[in-house]
Amino acid sequence: MNDLVIDVSGLRKRFGDLSVVEDLTLQVKRGEICGFLGANGSGKTTTIRMLCGLLEPDAGEGTCIGFDIRRQAHDIRRNVGYMTQRFSLYEDLTAFENLDFVAAVFEMPDRQAAVEAIIERMGLKDRRNQLASQLSGGWKQRLALAACVLHEPKLLLLDEPTAGVDVKARREFWDLIHDMAADGLTTLVSTHYMDEAERCSRIVYLAQGRIVVQGSATSVVGESGLVIFEAIGDGIDAVARRMRQAPGVEAAGVFGRALHVAGMDRAALAAAIESQGGGLEWREVEPKLEDVFIHMLSLDEARR
Amino acid sequence: MIGFSFARLMALLRKESIQIVRDATTLRMIIALPIMQLFLFGYAINSDPKHLPAGLLSIESSKYERTIAAALNNSGYYDLRQIRSEAEADEGLARGDLLFVVEIPPGFDRAVDRGENPSVLVDADATDPTAIGNAVAALSSVLTDLNRDLPPIRRAAPQTPPVNFIVHARYNPEQLTVLNIVPGLLVIVLTFSTLFVTTLSITRERERGTMENLLAMPVRPVEVMIAKIVPYIFIGYLQVGLIIIASVVFFDLPVRGSLPLMLAAIGVFIASNLALGVTFSTIAASQMQAVQLAQFTLMPSFLLSGFMFPFRGMPAWAQAVGNVFPTTHAIRIVRGMLLKGNGWSEIAPEIWPMALFTVVVIAFAIWRYRETLD
């Protein structure tokens, strides 16, 4: 097997007239944590489902863990851990029973030991005999992650795994993912959270079913060409409101005590500050991933 | 491609069983409901109604007529009242005010005394034959009473009965008997309870979102189907056992054939229903739709299976349709085995259509079962 765990090209999926994924080409190397970003409906879930054989692509081809995504869906399923966006284990089974079921379906040789090991590793010991329906959001995610890594997959496909989970649980969840990546597990994870995107070794940004930009967080920020000016002082809320109307300003927002103004054209931005930003101390700062992300989201909207 | 795996099937079976046991409300329902239905329908249909309204139609007054009237009233089945005309009799029967009209011919006393064996016409409303069955049977006891009143010379040699009762079953010439109903009911109740449990099975996975996870795992469609069906075969047997015991205890149902053989045959019937339910479940987009599909098949199962109406009375095309349904064959098997003591050679022709039905339906379900979310 070569070093590419995911290697697909020209993937397309349409539901009726609606084009959900269009000409998507993606390569993910072993051990990478690849973050899938994009607005709701940009095709993240559909792409993930095509990768694990749950949806058949209308066009395009490629391999996932070395298996053909069209013809070898069953082999892919054996080697992929897929965590659905919505909790999809059995709520009327306990944590243990769910894991035991998954282990048995994957025909794991030493089922008992494997289940106990994953319960231990995920810290599910105190929850093992609770019905899944009684678990809180964070514990449900953990159980779901346990269920999809239980059979020692080579690739993890996580579809917004931490939606609606508190900060601490999210942090712990990501620590687990990095742990597993260190062992060579490849992960493709979709998310809306910037802090999570920053923890990915690579970011893939999708808009309307196409990849708009990809690379490390730093390179995505660097290549964006976005210019940010920051001001600190009194009355920034009022200035922010005026600035939003000014030409050359794409976004103006208040973060704590600072006002951020973003735009693609440094000269136009400077002119806007000259005319509207009176009385404040301005300086140019490095754009953050979040700035770039919001910039790309508004580009999406403009294109629609 | 991966092949069938027994280990995976066992995993699925364990999972289904846990889910069934944990859904206590449904489990209680599928055990209690058949029994409740049996009693409800059983007693409603099988009750032995007494004091049925009856008219006594006679032109002239006679002593033997009075004997007959007294005997009928004493039997407990008849509440006689005098009526005056044929028209009144017809109207009473049509409206349901009267279930019987006993018509004494003119010159009755003389005819009896001379040993002419006159006929007494009993018009019976046979729309509900079970309701009048016992009352009709009670007519013979009237003859005993009548015998006592006869002149000695006639009483000494009663080679022929003094009076001939002619029962005219109006509205429904083909009389089903009480014992005909209970075995049929057993099958009908079973059809009800088994069809619905699996009808919901796969749509539930879909609506709860667990289908996506199940599909993402390496399970085969046939494994999923079998795992959905097998646990309910056991529950079906539990129902059968309870129904048979209740029928024997409360409705004096005779068991004349081989019970193990009948249970084996019923197993095929249960499987066919469960398979049909699973198939509906794979076709339907929602649980609601699945239930509607199931209801569509319930009506013909009731009406064309010979449960409600005599099978041989139906036109050929309706018989052909009826023969498709496993319920039709199961009713024949159960009636035949319980009442006539039928054995393997008699029921074999009823077994294979149910088995064929099961195989075809499962094959269709597997063909329809999508391994993708497309």
Among A254-268, B150-164, B188-202, name the one with the lowest average pLDDT.
B150-164
Interface check B5 vs A, CB under 8 A: yes
Instruction: Tell me whether residues A92 and B372 touch, CB distance under 8 A.
Output: no
Q: In the predicted model, is pLDDT for residue B17 greater than 50?
A: yes
The first and second tokens of residue B309, run together, are 């109406």
Q: What is the mean pLDDT of residues B286-311?
A: 82
- Comparing A72 with B95, the larger pLDDT belongs to A72
Q: How far is CA A112 from CA A9, A103, B92, B249, in A?
A: 40, 8, 77, 48
Q: How far is CA A114 from CA A56, A75, A119, A143, B5, in A?
A: 32, 21, 9, 14, 20
- Comparing B125 with B317, the larger pLDDT belongs to B317
Mutate to test the interface with B, among A20, A92, A131 (most CBs of B within 10 A): A92
What confidence score (pLDDT) does residue A241 get?
86
φ, ψ for residue A246, nearest 5 deg: -75, 145
Q: In the predicted model, is pLDDT for residue B356 greater than 70?
A: yes
Interface check A54 vs B, CB under 8 A: yes
Q: At what angle do helices B221-251 and B201-208 cross, to 10 degrees?
A: 130
What confidence score (pLDDT) does residue B66 get?
83
Instruction: Tell me whether residues B373 and A54 touch, CB distance under 8 A.
Output: yes
What confidence score (pLDDT) does residue B2 get?
62
Bridging pattern class, strands A80-83 and A33-38: unpaired
Domains and CATH numbers, chain B: 6-45+177-368 (no CATH), 52-170 (3.40.1710.10)
Residue B152 binned pLDDT confidence (cut-offs 50, 70, 90): low
Among A66-70, B81-85, B323-327, name the one with the lowest average pLDDT.
B81-85
Q: pLDDT for B52-107, tens place per residue?
A: 888 888 877 777 888 888 888 888 888 888 888 888 888 777 766 788 888 888 88
Burial grade of A49 (CB within 10 A; 0-12, 13-18, 19 or more):
buried
Residue in B275, B271, B269, B228 with CA at minimum distance from that of residue B17 = B228
- Comparing A102 with B50, the larger pLDDT belongs to A102
The first and second tokens of residue B81, run together, are 């009242």
| Rounded CA separation B271/B268 (Å) | 5
- Is the fold of A4-221 the same as that of A227-286? no
Q: What is the DSSP code (8-state) at residue A94?
A: B
Q: HSE-up of B349 (CA within 13 Å, CB side)?
A: 6
Residue in B240, B269, B293, B288 with CA at minimum distance from that of residue B356 = B269
The set of residues, in sequence order, having a beta carbon less than 8 Å from that of B252 and lying 6+ positions away, is none
Q: In the predicted model, is pLDDT for residue B175 greater than 70?
A: no
Residues of chain B in contact with residue A78, where contact means CB-CB under 8 angstroms, are 2, 218
Instruction: Tell me whether residues B209 and A78 touch, CB distance under 8 A.
Output: no
Residues of chain B in contact with residue A112, where contact means CB-CB under 8 angstroms, are none
Residue A253 binned pLDDT confidence (cut-offs 50, 70, 90): confident
Instruction: Tell me whether residues B213 and A77 touch, CB distance under 8 A.
Output: no
**Average pLDDT taken over every residue of chain B:** 81
Q: In the predicted model, is pLDDT for residue B140 greater than 80?
A: no
Q: In 3-state terms, what secondary structure has residue A63?
A: strand
Q: How far is CA A282 from CA A174, A242, A262, B66, B164, in A?
A: 36, 16, 13, 122, 120
Residue A5 binned pLDDT confidence (cut-offs 50, 70, 90): very high
Could you tell me how many residues make up chain A? 304
What confidence score (pLDDT) does residue B1 get?
46
Q: How far is CA A80 from CA A83, A119, A203, in A?
A: 10, 19, 20
Instruction: Tell me whether residues A73 and B15 touch, CB distance under 8 A.
Output: no
Residue in A62, A33, A57, A6 with CA at minimum distance from that of residue A209 = A57
Q: In the predicted model, is pLDDT for residue B45 greater than 60?
A: no
| Rounded CA separation A53/A20 (Å) | 16
Could you tell me how many residues make up chain B? 374
- First-to-last CA distance in chain B? 19
Interface check A96 vs B, CB under 8 A: no
Q: HSE-up of A221 (CA within 13 Å, CB side)?
A: 14
Interface check B24 vs A, CB under 8 A: no
Instruction: Tell me whether residues B19 and A106 touch, CB distance under 8 A.
Output: no
Instruction: Tell me whether residues A106 and B218 touch, CB distance under 8 A.
Output: yes
Q: What is the mean pLDDT of residues A229-251?
A: 85
Q: What is the mean pLDDT of residues B123-144?
A: 73
What confidence score (pLDDT) does residue B33 get?
76
Q: What is the mean pLDDT of residues B102-116?
A: 82
Residue B180 binned pLDDT confidence (cut-offs 50, 70, 90): low
Residues of chain B in contact with residue A74, where contact means CB-CB under 8 angstroms, are 1-2, 218
Q: pLDDT for A108-151, tens place per residue?
A: 999 999 999 999 988 899 999 999 999 998 899 999 999 999 99
Q: In the predicted model, is pLDDT for residue B176 greater than 60?
A: no
| Rounded CA separation A33/A174 (Å) | 11
Instruction: Tell me whether residues A91 and B209 touch, CB distance under 8 A.
Output: no
Q: In the predicted model, is pLDDT for residue A264 greater than 50?
A: yes
CATH topology (fold) of A227-286? Alpha-Beta Plaits (3.30.70)
What confidence score (pLDDT) does residue A28 get?
93
Instruction: Tell me whether residues B218 and A82 touch, CB distance under 8 A.
Output: no
Q: What is the mean pLDDT of residues B271-296?
A: 88
Domain locations in chain A as residue ranges: 4-221, 227-286
* Residue of chain A with shortest Cα separation from B2: A74
What confidence score (pLDDT) does residue A23 get?
93
**Average pLDDT taken over every residue of chain A:** 89
Kindly calculate the radius of gyration of chain B based on its CA atoms and give it in whole angstroms: 28
What confidence score (pLDDT) does residue B87 get?
84
- Given the structure tokens 């500050």, which residue do they identify? A273
The set of residues, in sequence order, having a beta carbon less than 8 Å from that of B144 and lying 6+ positions away, is none
| Rounded CA separation B98/A12 (Å) | 76
- Comparing B195 with B26, the larger pLDDT belongs to B195
Q: In the predicted model, is pLDDT for residue B174 greater than 50?
A: no
What confidence score (pLDDT) does residue B139 get?
79
What confidence score (pLDDT) does residue B363 get?
92
In chain B, which among 128-167 make CB contacts under 8 A with chain A? none
- Of residues B1, B212, B372, nearest to A88 (C-beta): B212
Interface check B316 vs A, CB under 8 A: no
Instruction: Tell me whether residues A101 and B1 touch, CB distance under 8 A.
Output: no
Q: In the predicted model, is pLDDT for residue B155 greater than 80?
A: no
DSSP string, A242-269: HHHHSTT--EEEEETTEEEEEES-HHHH
Instruction: Tell me whether residues B215 and A54 touch, CB distance under 8 A.
Output: yes
Interface check A210 vs B, CB under 8 A: no
Domain A4-221 indexed as CATH 3.40.50.300: yes
Residue B46 binned pLDDT confidence (cut-offs 50, 70, 90): very low
Residue B230 binned pLDDT confidence (cut-offs 50, 70, 90): very high
| Rounded CA separation B139/B102 (Å) | 11
What confidence score (pLDDT) does residue A258 get?
86
What confidence score (pLDDT) does residue A56 get?
92
List own/partner pairs for B318-324 with CB under 8 A and 24 or more apart. Answer: B323/B353, B324/B353, B324/B357
